[in-house]
Structure 1
Amino acid sequence: MKQQIRHDSSCFKLYGNRLTRIDARGDVTTYAYNNLNRLDTITYADGGTVTFGYDTAGRMTSAANPNGTVTFTLDPRSRVTGTTDVWGQAISYGYDHNNNRTSMTMGASQTTYLYGALDRLSSMTHNTMGATAFGYDSIRRLTYAKNGSNISIIKIQGEWIHVKIGLCIEPKLKIPKDFKLAAGRGTFSCAERNLERCRRFTYEGRKL
């Protein structure tokens, strides 16, 4: 029996704006634009809609659906400095001169971010959950994360792998030594440094 393959299809107008999208199930999504060719409304097959608002500079400042409206505040450099969700919860953001996010505040919760000379995130500190430090290899790939919650994170081939393991006291970990992901391959290794909870990762062919 031949496998039936169904594809999405889309229709575009003269200016390249998408007007409709039909998915593999035949559901139709339509798109409407204002006089300045900015996306105004998306209408889904079930009748749900999302409507967008803009400021005089053409920057998106709101998105509304039947559940409510999300609003965005932007600075002169078009960076989002604040959002308010459909429940009225406000979040504010701060940035450095290189456009790296340096802070995020939501009510009493505040997170600050520090960056190294190459604008790579070096640490993240939450006012109640403590600090997380990050390390990288010579080609800027994340190799470890350490914090008081003992959570390690690695990114290979565009996917995040979350690993939760205990302190590296035993020589053998209860995870595979070699682990394959798409075309990449990583090796988990462990290091004790002043009893800190630190997890290190090496990459095949590029040992740290």
Structure 2
Amino acid sequence: DDEGTHTYDYDDLYRLTEVTYPGPSTTGYVYDAFGNRTSMTVGTDTTTYAYDDADRLTTLTPPGESAISYTWDENGNLTDRGSDEFRVGL
């Protein structure tokens, strides 16, 4: 039933940590000390996230799949995502 109650839980820093949907199903979120989401769990499936020292996403690993790498240039522009390449114009 999609018309039930949705429940939202937050941590002490007001970051969303859990959503419970009708059914019930739950999505949970975990963050690092810098506020970056490091994981998202839906049921028993977890997606993980890794970041560089500038808090830019460097790796996303979906459940049961290979990691997707992200590359950034010195100006903070995304240049590569997995096998996709981006060109940054001036």
* TM-score w.r.t. length of structure 1: 0.40
- Superposition pairs of residues 55-134 of structure 1, within 5 angstroms: 55-105=32-82, 110-117=83-90
Percent of pairs with identical residues = 33
* 1:16-46 deviation per Cα after TM superposition (whole angstroms, max 9, x unaligned): xxxxxxxxx7432110112232211100011
Query: SS of the counterpart of 1:114?
Result: coil
After TM superposition, where is structure 1 displaced by more than 4 Å over at least 4 residues in a row? none
Tell me, in whole angstroms, the C-alpha distance in 1 between the residues paired with 2:35 and 2:85. Answer: 30
Give the total of aligned pairs: 89
Instruction: Tell me if structure 1 keeps the 8 A contact 2:5–2:22.
Output: yes
Q: 1 CA distance for matches of 2:88 and 2:13? A: 38
Q: Are 2:27 and 2:40, in contact at CA under 8 Å, matched by a contact in 1?
A: yes
Structure ID, larger Rg: 1
Which consecutive residues of structure 2, in runs of 5 or more, have no partner in the other structure? Answer: none
Moved more, 92-101 or 47-56: 92-101
Displacement of 1:65? 1.0
Q: Find the aligned partners of 2:88 and 2:63 in 1 and give their Cα distance.
A: 32
The root-mean-square deviation of aligned C-alpha atoms, in Å, is 1.6
